[in-house]
Amino acid sequence: MAGGFFGGVHPEYNKKLASGKSIEVMPLPEQLTVYFSQNLGAPAKAVVKKGDEVKKGQVIAEPGGFVSTPVHSPTSGKIKSTGFYPSPVGTLMEAAVIIPDGEDEWEEGCDRERDISGLRSEEIKDIVKEAGIVGMGGATFPTHVKLSPPEDKPIDILILNGAECEPYLTSDHRLMLEKTEEILEGASLFARAINVKNIVVAIEENKPDAIEKMREAVEGRDGFSVEPMKVIYPQGAEKQLIYSITGRKVPAGGLPMEAGALVQNVGTCLAAFEAAGLTRPLIQRVVTVTGSGIENPGNVLARVGTPFKDIIDFCGGMSDDTAKVISGGPMMGISQYSLDSAVNKGTSGIVLLKAGEVAQFENEPCIRCGRCLTACPMNLNPSALSIFAERMRYEETEEYGVMDCIECGSCAYVCPSKRPLVQHFKRAKAEIRNRSKKAG
């Protein structure tokens, strides 16, 4: 490892609950709620309406701009309704409710094998865009945009993100064990698309079996190498990962391409392979269902649009004293109030926690202990930022760098006063964005 790591914390990982469980396919639920906004950037625009019949893999929403991806139907069936439904990200979102007809029939042209060895860079980008592929680590950034860096920002390294630094989550771990070849095929497609010869598979050291498997698989593949990473949260955050491996810092407010690097989650690589090699659009993903509140923790391959309650039932159901249902991991995930929320392209896990394990925020004053400064991987001063935000002094929060906060939660994890630091930053960021929008 050429670089280093600033800050970071060591939460209890609890990955053993699900890391040994191989990926299970779950049956189709009674209905699917497929959101039209499943990517960072512009939401997609619906091209279907109530009553329409759709086939599996059919486009039901077209991209709403350059930084946008299409959304496909996860199965064949009928559109029961379109409207606004609770989504896992915390807002009501436009979605289509699809009732499967049971046939699960692919659309014409989908699901046939294709030789990927001859695909050229432009073709790969088109395939990735048309398949609706987004960053599957949770960020859901449209992949085809990542593959189109401007001329003046050449990329010389592709990093496959197998770090999976969030506690409890194991979907990437299982993918690396069970879909090793496919991931690497997808990665080589990406490498070809941006003409990069150096590909590094980054895996945290707490997954020795995955490291081993990947090492075997990359033998004979030119340009590939496996880099075991120090176990620290948030090792898998893009900027931190690039710094650890290459020693280069992504400039504040900038994108990884400015450090000459491209990072892709291993699940995204798999999706790229399936899109290119099997002409299947992105309609399903592996979700780790885990935590003390679930009867049978495991890694479930579920269709996009599967309601949380169905996936929880598939894993044996939820215990009565479950206090929190989190979409994503416990450090950055979003707590849910309704099990009607449905899986989207970025739902890496569903964690069910009991009251005793859940953090209880208190609105106590900051005791200036400095633990948050030590923990912050972006070298910010969360203490000062939170005090400014409390007093609504948003200009100062901007001065002190709140827009560079990656909301990893390391600061609030260690705060002895249990202040809701990340919430303060989210609030400040929203306020600053609103003000700049108003200013035009």
Partner 1 sequence: MEDEMKDKDRKSGSGKNETERKEAGKDKTSPKPPEKKKKEPFRERFIVSSSPHIHDGRTTSGIMRLVIFALLPAALFSIYIFGVTSLRVIVISICSALIFELVALRIMNRPVSIRDGSAFLTGLLLALNLPPGSPWWLVVTGNFFAIVVAKQIFGGLGYNPFNPALIGRVVLLVSFPVHMTRWVAPSAWGADAVTTATPLGRMAESLDRLGHIDMDLFRELFSREDIINLLIGNRAGSIGEVSIILLAAGGIFLIAKKVISWHIPVSFIGSVWLLTGIFYAIDPAHYINPTFHVLTGGLFLGAIFMATDYVTSPMTSSGKIIFGIGCGVITVLIRLFGVYPEGVSFAILLMNAATPLIDRYTKPKVFGAREAA
Partner 2 sequence: MLTAVIALAGLGLLGSLGLAIAARVFAVETDPKAEAIEEVLPGANCGACGKPGCFDLAREIARGNAEIDACPVGGQKVAEAIGKIMGVDFSGGGERYVALVLCAGDNKEAIKKYHYNGIYDCVSADMFFGGDKACSYGCLGLGTCAGACPFGAIDILPEGIARVDSDKCTGCGKCVEACPKGIIKLVPAGRNVHILCSSHDKGAAARKNCRVACIGCQKCVKAAPEGAIHMDDFLAVINYDAEIPESVAGECPMGTIKVFKAEDSAGQEAAGGGS
Smallest gap from Cβ 320 to partner 2, in A, equals: 16
357: DSSP letter: G
Give yes or no for residue 366 binding partner 2 (CB under 8 A): no
Give yes or no for residue 363 binding partner 2 (CB under 8 A): yes
Residue 84, token pair as written in the block: 């606004």
Give yes or no for residue 426 binding partner 2 (CB under 8 A): yes
HSE-up of 432 (CA within 13 Å, CB side)?
Answer: 20
Collapsing DSSP to helix, strand or coil, 296 comes out as: coil
Q: Which of 3, 20, 64, 90 is close enough to bind partner 2 by CB under 8 A?
A: 90
Give yes or no for residue 346 binding partner 1 (CB under 8 A): no
Show the binding pattern over residues 156-195: x = contacts partner 1 (CB under 8 A), - = does not.
-----------x-----------x----------------
Sorted by sequence, the CB contacts under 8 Å of residue 159 that are 6+ apart come out as 199, 200, 202, 241, 242, 245, 261, 262, 263, 264
Residues 314-333 within binding reach of partner 1 (CB under 8 A): 317-318, 320, 322-326, 330-333
Give yes or no for residue 366 binding partner 1 (CB under 8 A): yes
Task: Write phi, then psi, for 126 (nearest 5 degrees).
Answer: -65, -45
CB of 172 or CB of 224, closer to partner 1: 172
Residue 15, token pair as written in the block: 């990955």
CB of 182 or CB of 227, closer to partner 1: 182
What one-character-per-residue DSSP string does 210-230 give? HHHHHHHHHTT-TTEEEEEE-
What one-character-per-residue DSSP string does 238-258 give? HHHHHHHHH-PPPPTT--GGG
Give yes or no for residue 206 binding partner 1 (CB under 8 A): no
Q: Which of 45, 192, 215, 427 is close enough to bind partner 2 by CB under 8 A?
A: 427
424: DSSP letter: H
Residues 384-403 within binding reach of partner 1 (CB under 8 A): 384, 400-401
Residue 430 touches which member of partner 2, partner 1, none, C-beta under 5-8 Å by kind = partner 2
Give yes or no for residue 381 binding partner 1 (CB under 8 A): yes
Collapsing DSSP to helix, strand or coil, 349 comes out as: strand
CB of 66 or CB of 337, closer to partner 2: 337
65: DSSP letter: S
Give yes or no for residue 143 binding partner 1 (CB under 8 A): no
Give yes or no for residue 339 binding partner 2 (CB under 8 A): no
Alpha-helical (H) ranges within 324-439 are: 371-375, 382-390, 394-399, 410-414, 421-439
Q: Which of 204, 238, 310, 398 is close enough to bind partner 1 by CB under 8 A?
A: 310
Q: Residue 402 in contact with residue 432, Cβ under 8 Å?
A: yes
Closest CA to 65 of 151, 145, 140: 145
Residues 243-262 within binding reach of partner 1 (CB under 8 A): 243, 249-252, 254
Task: Write phi, then psi, for 56 (nearest 5 degrees).
Answer: -65, 130
Collapsing DSSP to helix, strand or coil, 9 comes out as: strand
Cα–Cα distance for residue pair 127/429, rounded to 1 Å: 35
Q: Which of 2, 92, 367, 369 is close enough to bind partner 2 by CB under 8 A?
A: 92
| β-strand partners of 326 | 335, 351
Exposed/middle/buried for residue 393 (C-beta within 10 Å: 0-12, 13-18, 19+): middle
Show the binding pattern over residues 267-296: x = contacts partner 2 (CB under 8 A), - = does not.
------------------------------
Closest CA to 345 of 54, 16, 61: 61
Cα–Cα distance for residue pair 291/278, rounded to 1 Å: 34
Residues 382-421 within binding reach of partner 2 (CB under 8 A): 420
Smallest gap from Cβ 90 to partner 2, in A, equals: 6
Smallest gap from Cβ 223 to partner 1, in A, equals: 27
Residue 92 touches which member of partner 2, partner 1, none, C-beta under 5-8 Å by kind = partner 2
Give yes or no for residue 91 binding partner 2 (CB under 8 A): yes
Q: Which of 109, 220, 365, 440 is close enough to bind partner 1 by CB under 8 A?
A: 365
Total count of residues recorded for the chain: 440
Give yes or no for residue 432 binding partner 1 (CB under 8 A): no
Residue 363 touches which member of partner 1, partner 2, none, C-beta under 5-8 Å by kind = partner 2
Which residues sit at the interface with partner 2, rule CB under 8 A? 86, 90-92, 335, 337-338, 360-361, 363, 420, 423-424, 426-427, 430
